[in-house]
Structure 1
Amino acid sequence: MAVAPLDYAPDVSPPEEFIGPPTDPEDERIEVGVVIVGGGPAGLACAIRLTQLLEQEPALAESLGEVPVALVEKGKATGSHLLSGAMMEPSAMRKLFPDLDESDWPTFGTVDTDTVYFLTKRRAIPLKPTPPPFRNHGNHVTSIARLGRFLGEKAEEAGVYILPETAGYKLLVEDGVVRGVRTGDKGRGRDGEPLPNFEPGSDLIGRATVLAEGTQGHLTGAAIGYFDLAGDDPPQWELGVKEVWEVQKPLDRVIHTMGWPLRFAAKYREFGGSFIYPMGEDRVSMGLVIGLDYRDATFSVHDVFQELKTHPLVRRILEGGKRVAWGAKTIPSGGWFAMPDRLWTPGMVIAGDGAS
């Protein structure tokens, strides 16, 4: 008998659980100009750009109060919950920091050579010419966590008030208008009981709220359902598994692969590929990204990733090295028609991966 994960959904009703009116007395609410939820690239770039624009509109900045822009980030610091390859197309950084030399960016340099391989179990067949989506000449190789730390520092220098280790728990809505977010309680035990260091959450009220939670953010999901923002197609996701290795020989190019160890038969619906990026002279980041619509319930992206490392191409790169970091995250892949019909509702906009 077929089993659907939907039949075993957690006992949570997002509209009731994660959307509601402010509850703190008015004199205990924290009032700011703009509330941004999420300290990833989208949220931080939004915060930095807002402060740049407010510098040109001093009267507007003054009207937003003592804290024109506040950003809540659930991690210990910006960048601590970020994970990606990552390949960075430079145009956004140039627009955000027009006076900053590219040598001061938090990257490992630009791409000079990139190769795409089709893998069989023993062979690596280069695809020439390189398919257009994989041409990265002139793009920058970076660590998204490192980029997040850099953007966080720039945001604070610009006057953004960053609240680390603070989760946005509930979207505050009154009369159909988003008023801000309620932050999560701190100091609870594993069963929800208050501990000696317990601190209740607070109502963070803003003129506008930006949801930049990343993929599958619970406030974004609740807002899309509550305000009927969903697109024509349901969202689709991929799972990316990544490791950082300390290696003995520097990698001189960017590598992408497709094919093995995925099974080719259409009945399996296994789609994806891998990446291997240089991170300076002695490190590489590598990962495997697989669409989550595969049919075999026993398929494990983590296990297949370990199998990939036995391929001669990959083994030569990693030989004599050691793994120093690892992680996994979801990636939106539904495309244009899976995007929300609208990315805004009165008092709120959605940005970043949550808008994909």
Structure 2
Amino acid sequence: MNIQRDVMTYDLLIVGAGPAGLSAAIRAKQLASAAGKELSVCVLEKAAQVGAHILSGAVIDPSSLDELLPFWKDSSPLKTPVVNESFYWLTSKQSYSIPMQVIPPVMHNDGCFIGSLGALCQWMSEQAEALGVEIYPGFSAVDFVYNDDGSVKGVVTGDMGVHASGEPKPEFASGMEIHASYTLVAEGTRGSLTRIAEQHYDLRSNNQFQKYGIGIKEVWEVSPEKHQPGLVEHSLGYPLNNSTGGGSFLYHYGNNLVSIGLVVHLDYENPYLSPYEEFQRFKSHPKSHVLLEGGKRIAYGARSLNEGGIQSLPELVFPGGALLGCAAGMVNVPRIKGSHNAMKSGMLAGEAAFEAISIGRSGDLLKVYSDSFRKSSVWKELYTVRNAKPYLSRFGTLLGSFFAALELWATKLGLKAPWSLKHLRPDYQSLKPAIQMEKIQYPKPDGVVSFDRLSSLALSNIAHDHDQPCHLRLKNSMTPVDFNLKVFDGPEQRYCPAGVYEFVNVDQTTRLQINAQNCIHCKTCDIKDPSQNIVWIPPEGGSGPIYIQM
């Protein structure tokens, strides 16, 4: 189908209205305003509204907000400061408090605020629009457009109104080409444009593969007498065994609201493990159960997160563009935080782009951005904690946490480790054959604090047109049965927190059924599939979850 596309042109194009993308847009416009110059800035967001695909814990370090929008305390939705925090080791029935004096200071949350990162991004988008930034929700950027010299010219947005068969519907509207002097990619973890850029420009030639976790989260309204505004709790141990990395979070904020979640590192070995079911087990622990019982569950979601740290950062710049925030991977694993780093990277990229555009440059490398990043607080922070994740992967939770804490304390005392540990393997290579592993029997949900996937999905407000092309592509349709099911007993039916994948028998033949309409865009399948046969691409713009208060 030969499609004639409309073209829009801007000075600066940003893909993704998350903390990194919005920070880049705001900083560039701030500088332009201060210099008395015109600068056209466009932000594309695949979600139906800004913040709808944002999911984070979220305890937010406000250091970057202080720099970018110093007045944020006056009008932003972040209202609950951290006033108390605890750390626990859990067994199946007991919880043992670990004194905060033992926890390395870098993991403390002094000065941080609890809230919804999605709500914060909505507020930031209002600040950006007040500066003249044009934000377009509901538009997926599906590919790059290139100049004759090979540099990025911009992006093409996805077509709208296409049948699942690929044929246009009566309401069909072709995607647009959006051109700009520079294109900043801030689409979050495991983004499709990021993958294209990494492959096209060989951005990982000098660095390692990325490492990931999956975070599963709910928001509850609890009884007022149980609510402790400003309380932050983290735990290690149950329900995960020592060889499976991860931990829980529980944050009290707002009007009797509690964010509760579990992060599972995606380098786990047992194909029978289900991160979703592990989360249900965590909520059923006596310590969690007593808090949630009598409360109301109001939101559910899941999202993958970067865990590779500084070893896994790709080259940040390519001709005509750059990678920001979680598109590159800037999460501090011990702190379980990345939004402040994403914002700072966005600010640095916005500054570099404005400087280049203001002197008439376009399409070259934003080397100022990559250089300033290496001198920034983000680089220093990620370098300090660079060995934490490798320790956990090599030695398990108990010994790995001990080694990581020892090194972080040593760094605090001015003793820097002379080594930087490499990651052992990509997450998709970590599964062991099912025959070597023990099956995990998960309890049935009680409907009080634990629930099945479908009832949880209803709280994600998923909006997918059933009659649209499947955005979960199989490179080979036979691989799920011939390899994944045969060797690993079909792990895709367990690692997906939304029930997208199931093996069904049709005419005495087993096949993988993809319920793409259930997808909450966590990207876990794209990461964990042992054959790397599943490729996540953006669905029609506006599709997916519509998270509220996440």
Normalised to the residue count of structure 2, the TM-score between the two structures is 0.57
- Contact 1:116–1:134 at 8 Å: present in 2 too? no
Residue 104 (structure 1) shift: 2.4
| Residues 1:107 and 2:82 are matched in the alignment | no
- Contact 1:251–1:317 at 8 Å: present in 2 too? no
Helix, strand or coil: the match of 2:255?
Answer: coil
User: Which residue pairs with 2:94 in the alignment?
Assistant: 123
CA distance in 2, matches of 1:36, 1:101: 22
| Residues 1:51 and 2:23 are matched in the alignment | no
User: Which string of whole-angstrom CA distances, capped at 9 and with x for unpartnered residues, describes residues 307-348 of structure 1?
Assistant: 0111111111111012111000000001111110x2001210
| Residues 1:97 and 2:72 are matched in the alignment | no
| Residues 1:165 and 2:142 are matched in the alignment | no
User: Which residue pairs with 1:276 in the alignment?
Assistant: 250
| Residues 1:73 and 2:23 are matched in the alignment | no
CA distance in 2, matches of 1:329, 1:218: 15
Q: 2:110 aligns with which of 128, 132, 137?
A: 137
Task: Name the structure where helix makes up a greater proportion of residues.
Answer: 2
CA distance in 2, matches of 1:145, 1:254: 19
CA distance in 2, matches of 1:170, 1:117: 45
User: Which string of whole-angstrom CA distances, capped at 9 and with x for unpartnered residues, describes residues 59-97 of structure 1?
Assistant: 4x2xx5xxx100000111110110111011111111111
User: Which residue pairs with 2:219 in the alignment?
Assistant: 244
Residue 101 (structure 1) shift: 5.2
| Residues 1:304 and 2:278 are matched in the alignment | yes
State the AA in 2 paired with 1:110.
Answer: P
| Residues 1:34 and 2:12 are matched in the alignment | yes
User: Which residue pairs with 2:208 in the alignment?
Assistant: 233
| Residues 1:262 and 2:236 are matched in the alignment | no
User: Which residue pairs with 1:177 in the alignment?
Assistant: 151
| Residues 1:329 and 2:268 are matched in the alignment | no
- Contact 1:236–1:338 at 8 Å: present in 2 too? yes
How many aligned residue pairs are there? 320
- Contact 2:221–2:295 at 8 Å: present in 1 too? yes
Residue 108 (structure 1) shift: 3.5
Residue 24 (structure 1) shift: 5.5
CA distance in 2, matches of 1:155, 1:208: 18
CA distance in 2, matches of 1:224, 1:247: 44
Deviation >4 Å, runs of 4+: none
User: Which string of whole-angstrom CA distances, capped at 9 and with x for unpartnered residues, describes residues 118-168 of structure 1?
Assistant: 111111111112513431121011101111111111111111011110010
- Contact 1:24–1:203 at 8 Å: present in 2 too? no
Normalised to the residue count of structure 1, the TM-score between the two structures is 0.87
CA distance in 2, matches of 1:306, 1:333: 23
User: Which string of whole-angstrom CA distances, capped at 9 and with x for unpartnered residues, describes residues 243-272 of structure 1?
Assistant: 1111103134110010011112xxxx3000
CA distance in 2, matches of 1:103, 1:258: 36
Residue 186 (structure 1) shift: 1.0
State the AA in 1 paired with 2:45.
Answer: E
User: Which residue pairs with 1:154 in the alignment?
Assistant: 127
CA distance in 2, matches of 1:30, 1:242: 38
Helix, strand or coil: the match of 1:33?
Answer: strand
State the AA in 1 paired with 2:61.
Answer: E
Residue 241 (structure 1) shift: 0.4
Residue 103 (structure 1) shift: 4.0
Task: Name the structure where strand makes up a greater proportion of residues.
Answer: 1
| Residues 1:85 and 2:60 are matched in the alignment | no
CA distance in 1, matches of 2:228, 2:102: 18
Residue 192 (structure 1) shift: 2.6
Instruction: Give the gaps of 5 or more residues in structure 1.
Output: 1-22
Residue 279 (structure 1) shift: 2.4
CA distance in 2, matches of 1:24, 1:32: 20
Q: 1:288 aligns with which of 257, 262, 265?
A: 262
Residue 190 (structure 1) shift: 2.8
| Residues 1:354 and 2:332 are matched in the alignment | no
Instruction: Give the gaps of 5 or more residues in structure 2.
Output: 330-550
| Residues 1:194 and 2:168 are matched in the alignment | yes
Residue 46 (structure 1) shift: 0.7
CA distance in 2, matches of 1:24, 1:211: 25
- Contact 2:65–2:72 at 8 Å: present in 1 too? no
User: Which residue pairs with 1:6 in the alignment?
Assistant: none
Residue 197 (structure 1) shift: 1.5
- Contact 1:251–1:284 at 8 Å: present in 2 too? no
CA distance in 2, matches of 1:277, 1:228: 40
